[in-house]
Structure formats: structure tokens, C-alpha cells
A and B are shown apart, each in its own frame.
Chain A
Amino acid sequence: MSLGVVRSQAIGTSIERRGTRARLRGDTHFAADLNIAGVVTAVVLRSDRPHALIREFDPAAAKSTPGYLGVFTWRDIPGRNRFGIINKDQELLVERKVRCVGDPVALVVAETEEAAQRALSKIRVVYEDLPAVFDPEEALTDAAPRIHEKGNLLGRRVVRRGSPEEALKHSDVVVERTYTTSFVEHAYLEPDAGLAYIDHNDILVVHASTQNPHYDQKDVADLLGLPEDRVRIIQEATGGGFGSKLDLNVQGFVGLAAFLVQRPVRMVYSREEAFLATAKRHPLKIRYKSGANRDGRLTAVDVTIIGDTGAYASYGLAVTSRAAVHATGPYEVPNVSVEAIFAYTNNPMAGAMRGFGVPQMAFAHESQMDLLAAELGLSPLEIRRRNALRIGSQTATGQYLTASVGIGATLDAVASRWEEARVEKQSTRAFVRRGVGIASMIYGIGNTGMQNPSTAQVELGRDGFVTLYSGAADIGQGSSTVLVQIAAEALGLKPDAIRSVIADTAHTTSAGATSASRQTYISGNAVLDAATKLHNVILTEAAMMLKADRGDLELRDGSVFLRSDPGKGVSFKDIAERASRTGLPLKWQGYFDPDTTPLDPETGQGRPYATYAFATHVAEVEVDSLSGEVRVLKVTAAHDVGRAINPLNVQGQIYSGVAMGLGLALMEEFHPGVTESLKDYHIATAADMPAVIPIIVEDPEPTGPFGAKGVGEPALIPTAPAIANAVADALSARVYNLPMNLERVLKAGISVRSAEKEKSCQGY
């Protein structure tokens, strides 16, 4: 179904983000801000052991605490005590043994948070420690302690095409290095929070900070043994998520507590608990071998990826696949061997985090590109140009790219800054070196090789107003605004004229998770589908009412006008009234599932994504060889987003990605058992930010809503490798481990420092 004529400027316009004024005034309620009469508090008793059997559990002393309402264990869970987005391997309250520090042992409910904490402190737990394993490779050996009954292997993904061994043997140059990355904390500003109660219809209502309300509904219902329609999840304003709020964090606990004590229950994680109990970015160890010929073309790659998913899977399998599929970067590589193996350990759970393993892989493949360029005497920009995917290229999974392959355009977009920066980079200060680095990325939009549909409804009300219903959780990235813009464009309306109902399972249908940069492309298409249906109904009705040819009609500002006689028209309100008299439905469902195929389990060949985003960043840095400090001066960031539906939002995502990428590059490292809070976990501050020059490249995606793809995760991916390449350029020595902290940079820069020292001492 296609759209008729509309007159709207909703697309490509930086309209005000929905809900911004209330946020600026402090009027927006986040879950921790909710307060209802009679609300009580739940807290979780968590394990302080990485791997142990629970031998004794004695809550008796807690019961005398004033305000005490209950201590609950797995035995009190009425439904199935298993949850998890992909693998159901998590227990809401552990039954027999704890598998990591922070594992939930008991739920304590009391009148106040203080009383709950006091009661919790009186519970006695006797553990029998088990041998623990913290290294994924060790975890896969026969001697390793078994963390889950099925064993310690989470999953494996192979991508194979051509004859990589043969090709590497005959390549002119071969480079092999090993890269590592660390656990990274999401550090969204709003610690997880939720509030649950049972409403007058006997429905358990959970207000939560979440990225995934419709999934939450399923798992909470399963845990409590309730039919899904007895559980309602309402996403409150959510203060960032970045992947961590895809998991069930507080939702199950508040749901269980409200169900058991029959009182409204709230739970707010402290920052320390958010650090202790929620997922991290997977640390990867990547052995990467690449070959190229004198002409600068890649011949083959051979990559082994070891991932640590910690005690539970969360999104680990998604990261396994995505890391493997993206291992070759945005380049044509005819011969590929990639094996990703992820293991359980007794570390904290690692799950989804902005990019699903691709930021880690980009660090490796982009470092390799620079190493190859140096071997071949090519400039880093040139080697990327020679290998960049283009229309007609085949990816590592054998997928032919037929449209919207903007990697070359992003390279072109940064080229002039790249050249200038290389000329300007002379430092005027002794011991301080300037460097310039470039890095590119590819990112498949949506889930990997599986169905991940979205649905939406668009309704014309009898009052003539259009309402959009979407289950897509807006966690700050702005999807609610973008989806409204798409509906507005399809209906010839001003976005302001559209009402929206977002992420409330009682009123919306599933849009899938807010993850994988999928909401603009996938939910955007679902909204467009619904809006298109409504558009056509409106056209048909208007044609009848105006006794006109459909082709002569135009939708504009809530009315349908005759193009041949622009003074003549009929309003949406009139159409709605007529339709309601004739019984014509005016609420239409939209649906979209990207065109993908599953990956072959042996070879990883297939069509994992319907479309890809591309980007290139150029980073300019200053490295102090006296201290190991790195100052990022400027990042020029070109992103092919297909079509920027809201350019200011796209820029906001790019700035955001650069900040997070800078942290990933230089300062973010979570050490299990050591890192506790924001005092010892550093993210970039305003003072750390470089100048950022965002460049939006629009190579429209034919299957995207008005050509759009996605940008949320892509924004982050090239920054860290670009900074790594810039540091390597500055020091003529490379750091192979993220983050490039003071210690690593100082060590890498030691020969620069010695040379400067020599120079500084000459002549005296």
C-alpha cells in the first residue's frame, strides 16, 4: 500500500522532543518519584560470594524489626522461578546456589526502606563456598567448576566463507594481534526503580524504568504464575538504559512483593546496587589475523573471539552472534574464518550494552586496518577506501548489499578534516605528541538473523485527533518523537497534532525491545504501515464525501483538500464522524519485520539484517608521555543514517556516542569485586569532551521509513578505535587493551618519552 499526496514537513525537521519541557521543569516522574498511599519498600538480600551453596537461611531475627512485613525466598515464588531474555537461566531468588557476587537470595519487605534494610541485616545465611572461575578460557576447561548444569559454554558462532587459511598463506602481508577489552558499566543516570500494586481489576500493575515493557510482562507473569493479561507494565520516564534495562531488574521483585504482601511496593536501587546487580558490557579477548595484498585489498581474516558472559546469559548469545558477524568491519573480505565462543564465569552477568559486542570488535578490526596500512605504505584513509563495502558487495555472511551502503560516503565526508588534521598535528610542547586516527564501522539494524517484528496502531478519534499507540520504550533517545514524526508525515499532519500512548502493555502492543538501534527502522515501519492504512481509509472516505477522484486529494493539516480546487475540503473530524456512523474502523494496526534469514549454524552464512548503518570518525588527540594522559581534542563523526528524521536528535545521538566512546577508549573499566560506584568508575564529564563535528550522511534505505535506518549504537562504535589509532599515531606505538588508561598509555609512550628526554638534556 502506498501513500497518496500529503503536505507535511514532519520528516527531516528538528521538532521539539516530546516531554522535554516537563523534564526541564523537574515535573517528569521517574519510577523513584512515584508515591502512592500505603506504599511499602522491598530490598534484596544479595550474595557476597561468587560461587557458593546456601547451606542455611535463617530469617527469624529479622521478623521482630519494627515495620517488618516479610522475608521471601524462592519457595514463595508462585510461578516458574526462571527468567532471562534469551536463555531462561536466571532465578529471581536463587534456589540452591549463588553464581556471582550480587545474586539475589531473599526479598525483604517492610514499611520503609530503613526498616527493610534493618530487617535484611538480621538475616543469617550460611554459605558453603565452591571453587569459582573468573576467566572464560579457564571456565571452558574440564577442570573448571561447573556454574550451570548444562556446563560453562554459553554459545558459539562461526562465520566462514572462502578459504581463509590458503588466502592468508598467499597474502603479501599478514598482521596478527590480540586485543582485550574490559567489563564496562552502563552508568545510566537513573538507578533502576519500580513500583507495583494490584489494581481494582485485580491486575498487577508494575511501573518501571525499562527498555522492554512487553518482555517484562511475559517474564513477570511467568514468575508469578499469572496469565499475561493479569500483568500490566507501564514504562515510566526512563533515565537511560543503554542495554541494561532490557533485563528484568526490579520488575520481578516489586511484582512478587506486591503479589505476596498485597500492598503497593516500591524498590529503588542505590547506585551501588545498580553496579552490583545489573549487566555489564562483555569483556572480549580477540585474536585477529588479517591478510592483504600489495594492492591494498584485504584477502582474508581469521578471528577468534572469547567472551565472558559472567554468571548468566542475559543477551550473551546475541553478543556472540553479532560480534562474529561484524568481525570483518565495513569491508569486503573474500575469505573469512571467525569463531566466537562465550563462556559462563562467576563474574557479574554481562549483557546488552550499546553495540552488542561491535564496539569491541571495531577496536580490533580498525587497529588491524591501520597496522596493515603501515605494512603496505598506504594511508589509513586509503586502505579503508579500497576495501569499503559498496553496492553489490558481499558481506562476511554472504549477503549481497543492494542499497544504502554509505560507508564510502562517510569516508569522503571526513576526508578533508583527516587531511587537515594530519598537517596541523605538530605539537608545540615537549613530551606531548599529537595524533590523528580514523575508524569506521558497520552495524546491522535489528536482531541478528531472527524475527524481531514491531507493531503499532494509529487511530483517528471521533474528535478528529490522531493517536499513535506504540510499545516502543523511549529511554531518552527520542523514539516517541521520531515515531510521531513518521505518522505525521504519512497523514499530512503537524507532529504536535498527534497524541501518543507509549509503552503501556494495557494500551500498546509489542514493539519489541528498545535495542539494536531498531526502533526508528522497525517500529518506524510499523507506524508507517498503520498510518498508511489509516491514510488510505481517510482518502477513500474523503473521495466519497467530496465526490472526487482519490488522485485529486491531498492530506494537509488534519483535512483532505481537492488539489484542483484547494478551497474545497473535508476535515478529519468530519470523516471520523461519518466513519463512526457507518461503523468503519479508524484504528489500524501496523506491522513490520525486517527481511532476514537465520544464519547457517555451521558457516554463519545468511542474511542477518535487512539493512546496515555505516560511520567513520576522525579523532585528534594529544598524548602526554610524561603522565600517560590523553586529551581528545576533536572528533569528526560522519554517519550514514539513511535519512535523518529529526536531525537534532541524530546529532544528539552522535555527541552521546562520542562521549561514551571516549569513556570506553580511555577510562571505563569495571573490576568485579572492586568497582563499587561512580566514585571509582569514571565516565566522561563535560570537561573531558572534545569538539565534536557531526556530519549526517543520508544514503536512503529503500525499505526504511522515509529512508531511515538507525543511529543509537553506531554513534558509539567508531570513537574508541579512532582514538586508539590516534594514540598509536601520536606515540608510534599501539595499545591493544581497552581502556587505554594512564598506565597503558604511559607504557606505550615510553620510547617517545625517552627520545624527548634525550633531546631535552642535549646541549647542557
Chain B
Amino acid sequence: MQNSDIDLVNIQFQLNGKPIRLSVRPFDSALAVIRDEIGLTGTKEGCGIGECGACTILVDGKAITACLMLAPQLDGREVQTIEGVAEGDTLHPVQQALLAHGAVQCGFCTPGMVMSAKGLLEANSHPTREEIADALAGNLCRCTGYVQIVDAIEELAGSPRANEAVKR
């Protein structure tokens, strides 16, 4: 079957602060559209069934797995991917904290982890260690053992920069 048989759906949404319009196939996942149509490959596919968190993005500020969202459901939403997190050359406080704690190894889970941490801090700027671990539990990592990741977010949450992290 070619795309010509398919009723494409026109959608528009805010992507990393900028409006975007495109036509998507109705059955594709938001992940497929972000990676393959828009070409933002920072969002990773690790399982395709919502079990690993590598494709975590923020939709209206909430962390979701893009593999479990239909592309047309992006319509009208405010979407943030990893590419929209840093400001130019300046890393976001979450990214900075992970860097400082050596919390990145292979880096495949990292974009999703950053998005989940950002989503958490936007909802709760001073989470406890347990709340951090719980909020990040949907993001599997096989390399780091999570300790340095949770340490990084815990330190950030306890610092004045937490509020900065929320704002950005």
C-alpha cells in the first residue's frame, strides 16, 4: 500500500517553542513522525511499547512516551523534545547536573531521562530522592545504575537552580 491510499491528517503544534504544520499518516506514532518526518533523532526508540522511556517527550509539560501516542494526537499541543532543552550552547540545568555527576554512559537513555527529569521539576521543583527515583522509574538505563542520575537531580532539586530549571 502506498501513501497515496492514505488519508493524511493535517496537524499543527508547537515544537520546541516554534509552530509546526505537517501532514501525518493517521496510524503512525508521534515517535515515528518526530524521528522520521521531522528528523529530530534525539528522541530514541528502545522498545516501541512504552516499557523503556527512551522516547520520552514533554507534551503540555507532561512526560509521555512518544511511541504510545498517535501522531495526530500531537495536534494543538505544546511539544518539547530533547533538541529544545538547551539554549544554544548553554546546557539546561538538568543537563548540566547530569554532566557534573558523570551520569551519562552510553547516552541512549539520556535524552528521555532529561525529559523525565525536566517534567518532574516543572511539576515539583523540590522533590525528595524517592520522588525522583519514582519519576525516573519509567526510563530504563542499563549502563549507569541510575545512582549518579538521581544524585544529579537531587542536588539540583535542593539548590536554588531548581527554580531556574523550572522556568526554562
Binding site for B on A (CB under 8 A): 14, 16-17, 19-21, 23-30, 32-33, 35, 66, 118, 186-191, 237-240, 242, 270-271, 475-478, 648-649, 651-652, 654-660, 677-679, 683-689, 692
Q: Does A25 contact B91, Cβ atoms closer than 8 Å?
A: yes
Contact of A270 among B48, B54, B82 (CB under 8 A): B48
- Chain B interface, >50% SS class: loop
Given contacts A677-B49, A678-B51, contact A657 B106 (CB under 8 A): no
**B64 at the A interface (CB under 8 A):** no
Q: List 15 A-B contacts (CB under 8 A).
A: A24-B107, A25-B82, A25-B83, A25-B85, A25-B91, A30-B108, A189-B140, A189-B143, A651-B148, A652-B105, A652-B148, A678-B140, A686-B136, A686-B137, A686-B149
Q: Give chain B interface residues in 130-162, CB to chain A under 8 Å.
A: 132-134, 136-150
The number of chain B residues touching the other chain, given as a range, is 35 or more
Q: Does B109 contact A189, Cβ atoms closer than 8 Å?
A: yes
One of B7-15, B39-47, B68-76 at the interface:
B39-47
Residues of B within 8 A of A476 (CB): 105-108, 143
Q: Does A26 contact B148, Cβ atoms closer than 8 Å?
A: no
Contact with A along B80-110 (1 / 0, CB 8 A): 0111011000010001001101111111111
CA distance A524 to B144 in the complex (A): 22
Q: Does A30 contact B44, Cβ atoms closer than 8 Å?
A: yes
Residues of B within 8 A of A679 (CB): 47, 49, 51
Given contacts A655-B145, A655-B146, A687-B134, contact A190 B51 (CB under 8 A): no
Residues of A within 8 A of B104 (CB): 17, 20, 23-24
CA distance A658 to B146 in the complex (A): 10
B148 to chain A, nearest CB (A): 6
Binding site for A on B (CB under 8 A): 1-2, 35, 39-49, 51-52, 54, 81-83, 85-86, 91, 95, 98-99, 101-111, 114, 132-134, 136-150
Q: Does A689 contact B51, Cβ atoms closer than 8 Å?
A: no
Residues of B within 8 A of A24 (CB): 86, 91, 95, 98-99, 104, 107, 110-111, 114
Q: Does A240 contact B142, Cβ atoms closer than 8 Å?
A: yes
From B108, which residue of chain A is reached at the shortest CB distance?
A239
CA distance A28 to B83 in the complex (A): 11
Given contacts A189-B108, A242-B142, A692-B147, contact A21 B91 (CB under 8 A): yes
Residues of A within 8 A of B140 (CB): 187, 189, 678, 683, 685
Residues of B within 8 A of A28 (CB): 107
- 16 more A-B residue pairs beyond the given contacts A654-B145, A685-B137, A686-B132, with a C-beta to C-beta distance below 8 A: A14-B102, A20-B107, A21-B95, A25-B42, A26-B42, A26-B81, A189-B44, A237-B106, A240-B106, A271-B49, A652-B145, A656-B105, A678-B140, A685-B140, A686-B141, A689-B146
CA distance A19 to B110 in the complex (A): 12
Residues of A within 8 A of B91 (CB): 21, 24-25
Residues of B within 8 A of A692 (CB): 145, 147
Residues of B within 8 A of A14 (CB): 102
CA distance A224 to B1 in the complex (A): 33
CA distance A686 to B142 in the complex (A): 10
Q: Does B147 contact A240, Cβ atoms closer than 8 Å?
A: no
B151 to chain A, nearest CB (A): 9
A665 to chain B, nearest CB (A): 14
B57 to chain A, nearest CB (A): 11
Residues of A within 8 A of B86 (CB): 24-25
A662 to chain B, nearest CB (A): 9
Given contacts A190-B46, A651-B148, contact A66 B107 (CB under 8 A): no
From A237, which residue of chain B is reached at the shortest CB distance?
B107
Residues of A within 8 A of B147 (CB): 655, 689, 692
Residues of B within 8 A of A33 (CB): 35, 41
Given contacts A16-B99, A240-B106, contact A686 B143 (CB under 8 A): no
Residues of A within 8 A of B107 (CB): 19-20, 23-24, 28, 237, 239, 476
Contact of A271 among B1, B43, B48, B148 (CB under 8 A): B48
Given contacts A17-B102, A23-B110, A652-B148, contact A187 B133 (CB under 8 A): no
CA distance A20 to B91 in the complex (A): 11
Residues of A within 8 A of B47 (CB): 271, 677-679
Q: Does A26 contact B43, Cβ atoms closer than 8 Å?
A: yes
Q: Does B41 contact A21, Cβ atoms closer than 8 Å?
A: no
CA distance A654 to B105 in the complex (A): 12
Given contacts A651-B102, A687-B137, contact A271 B143 (CB under 8 A): no
A681 to chain B, nearest CB (A): 9
CA distance A187 to B51 in the complex (A): 12
From B147, which residue of chain A is reached at the shortest CB distance?
A655
Residues of A within 8 A of B137 (CB): 685-688
From A114, which residue of chain B is reached at the shortest CB distance?
B1
From A477, which residue of chain B is reached at the shortest CB distance?
B105
Q: Does B95 contact A29, Cβ atoms closer than 8 Å?
A: no
Residues of B within 8 A of A271 (CB): 46-49, 52
Residues of B within 8 A of A239 (CB): 44, 106-109
Q: Does A658 contact B145, Cβ atoms closer than 8 Å?
A: yes
CA distance A119 to B153 in the complex (A): 47
Residues of B within 8 A of A240 (CB): 105-106, 108, 142-143
Residues of B within 8 A of A20 (CB): 99, 104, 107
From A270, which residue of chain B is reached at the shortest CB distance?
B48
Residues of B within 8 A of A17 (CB): 102, 104-105
Residues of A within 8 A of B41 (CB): 26, 29, 32-33, 35
Q: Does B99 contact A687, Cβ atoms closer than 8 Å?
A: no
A478 to chain B, nearest CB (A): 7
Residues of B within 8 A of A678 (CB): 46-47, 49, 51-52, 140
From B135, which residue of chain A is reached at the shortest CB distance?
A686
Q: Does A649 contact B102, Cβ atoms closer than 8 Å?
A: yes
Given contacts A660-B142, A687-B137, contact A190 B44 (CB under 8 A): yes
Given contacts A678-B140, A686-B136, contact A190 B106 (CB under 8 A): yes
5 residue pairs, one from A and one from B, having the closest CB atoms:
A26-B42, A476-B106, A23-B107, A239-B108, A655-B145
From A193, which residue of chain B is reached at the shortest CB distance?
B45
The interface centre, meaning the residue of A475, A654, A686, A689 with most chain B CB atoms within 10 A of its CB, is A686
From B151, which residue of chain A is reached at the shortest CB distance?
A655
CA distance A685 to B82 in the complex (A): 21
From A691, which residue of chain B is reached at the shortest CB distance?
B147
B119 to chain A, nearest CB (A): 14
Residues of A within 8 A of B101 (CB): 648
CA distance A651 to B46 in the complex (A): 25
The interface centre, meaning the residue of A14, A19, A652 with most chain B CB atoms within 10 A of its CB, is A652
Residues of B within 8 A of A186 (CB): 142
CA distance A238 to B142 in the complex (A): 13
